Amino acid sequence: MPTTLLPEALKVYGVDMATLPEPNLITSAQFLQIDFGPDIKAELDNGTIRMMAGGTAAHARVQSNTMLALGVALRGTGCRPYGSDMAVNTYAMSVRYPDISVYCGKDSEIFDNVKAFDDPVVLIEIISPSTAAHDQGTKLNEYRALPSVQTILLIDPSANTVRSITRTGPKGWTDDVPGANEDIAIPHLGIALSQGEIFAR
């Protein structure tokens, strides 16, 4: 489970407590200025910094499989997948690091030093028992609220299932778990992912 960063620890990372919007809460802009170093993973969750634990071998396998499949499918389209080092700014008080996100039109050098985008078209989380409730609750709601998002995939390596949530209109969504032999369609991008590739060992 994510661990909350205590207020006194915020001072260590150079956060000016006097500028916080509410006691002990910080904005996404402030969060993105913090250098946690290479060994610390954190998200901003409604103004609160939460330290994140590392994943399992199964998580890493499914993530790399899916990244590879997306990279091949999207080659030459102007869209590309990014790993969990690329942040998505979901709103003024939250910054998330999806396991995989897809952005279009970011190939220019002007985007090379950007730490977070706010217009993903696809977001993918690889869930585990410790993160499932949060990924399918608060984070899913934030992802669906982003106007650019067309497809959200929640992949469960322990059950070898994919929950596919696809936008059908300004407020409409389909929410489906395709059968094991069905490809996972991403209609907005005109591609589909093989579950055999996603869960390959």
Query: Residue 81: its pLDDT value, please?
Result: 98
158 shares its domain with 178: yes
Core vs surface per residue 33-69: b (16+ CB within 10 A) or e: ebeeeeeebbbbbebbbbebeebeebbebbbebbbeb
Segment 68-110, tens digit of pLDDT = 999 999 999 999 999 999 999 999 999 999 999 999 999 999 9
63 shares its domain with 24: no
Residue 116, domain CATH = 3.90.1570.10
Segment 21-77, tens digit of pLDDT = 556 799 999 999 998 888 888 999 999 999 887 789 999 999 999 999 999 999 999
67 shares its domain with 43: no
- Residue 23, classified by CB atoms within 10 Å of its CB into exposed (0-12), middle (13-18) or buried (19+), is exposed
28 shares its domain with 106: no
37 shares its domain with 64: no
- Give the β-pairing of 161-167 and 191-193: unpaired
Query: Residue 3: its pLDDT value, please?
Result: 54
90 shares its domain with 184: yes
43 shares its domain with 75: no
Q: Outline where the chain has alpha helix (H).
A: 7-12, 28-31, 57-74, 132-135, 138-145, 195-198
Residue 165 lies in domain:
57-198
90 shares its domain with 128: yes
Percentage of residues in the chain with pLDDT exceeding 90? Answer: 77
**Is the separation of the CB atoms in 121 and 151 below 8 Å?**
yes
16 shares its domain with 104: no
17: pLDDT confidence band, cut at 50, 70 and 90? very low
Could you give the 3-state DSSP secondary structure of residue 113? coil
> Which has the closest alpha carbon to 42: 20, 67, 13?
13
pTM: 0.87
73 shares its domain with 38: no
13: pLDDT confidence band, cut at 50, 70 and 90? very low
For the chain, the residue count is 201
Overall domain count for the chain? 2
80 shares its domain with 35: no
CA 140/CA 146 separation, integer angstroms = 10
